[in-house]
Amino acid sequence: MLKKYEALPPIKMGLPKVDVDDAELRQGEPMLRHISLPGGWKRMVSFQDVEAPEKVVWSAINDLPNYPKYVQGVVSCDVYSTEKGRSGEVVTCATYVLKAAGFAMTYYMQHNFYPKKHCMTFHLHYDRCSDLSDSVGYWYVEDLGDGWCRVYYSTDTKLPRFIPGFAKDMLTTLAAKRSTGWVEKQCNQITGKSRGAGSGRRIPGRRQLAAVLALAVGWWVRTNA
């Protein structure tokens, strides 16, 4: 249903230009941008600077079995195949189980990692039946040459029709923060660096997600009564 991402730099993928200064990107929280796509799909783009070498950033992103420790709401992420692709990429397929606000879903994702292109693309593994209609996404890590890397993350999703427009942006924002906010923390653990206790901001939790879902359901009930 969705066009897959290509293994290209962010500017060639049409992602928004980074319009904030370096100091703001180094505060411990990803910057987010919403893009509306034809057909009601939502694209969420995240970018953040991480103080770590590129290989360390990729070691965190590629550590799929430990995603339940890193990403809130991920109950399990079990790799069931890994192989070399035709273009030299590493193709890894994994089963994800997510639970949040009383909801649970299982889906099968294929990740294509291109080390020489500094990029990973991912999409549903279409040989298996997932609880999602479709999902595609993209990671890109840019070495800034000063001990920092700029980490880009983008994903396209479509939420159920009963969720109103104002709640969809809130939900995709929460999901993006939970999907990317852990990268800096994990890289700091690998490199031995640590921020002060007051640095960065809290990643949205289960209660906040539940509140947004409850608000959306309440809105739908009122408008359809």
The whole model's pTM is what? 0.80
One digit per residue, the tens of pLDDT, for the chain of length 225 reads 788 999 999 999 888 888 888 888 888 778 888 777 777 677 888 889 999 999 999 999 999 999 999 887 889 999 999 999 888 999 999 999 988 666 788 999 999 999 999 999 999 999 999 887 788 999 999 999 999 999 999 988 765 565 556 555 565 566 656 667 789 889 999 998 765 433 444 444 444 444 444 444 443 344 444
What is the Cα 68 distance to its own chain's centre? 14
Question: 96 and 115 in contact (C-beta within 8 Å)?
Answer: no
pLDDT in tens, 10-68: 999 888 888 888 888 888 778 888 777 777 677 888 889 999 999 999 999 999 999 99
Question: 151 and 58 in contact (C-beta within 8 Å)?
Answer: no
Structural domains in the chain, sorted by start: 19-223 (3.30.530.20)
Number of Cβ atoms within 10 Å of the Cβ of 124: 20
Give the separation between CA 29 and CA 149, rounded to whole angstroms: 14
Q: Minimal CA–CA distance to 59: which of 46, 70, 72, 48? A: 70
Long-range pairs of 198-204 with CB within 8 A, sequence gap ≥ 24: 199/27, 199/28, 200/27, 200/28, 200/29, 201/27, 201/28, 201/29, 203/72, 203/177, 203/178, 204/174, 204/177, 204/178
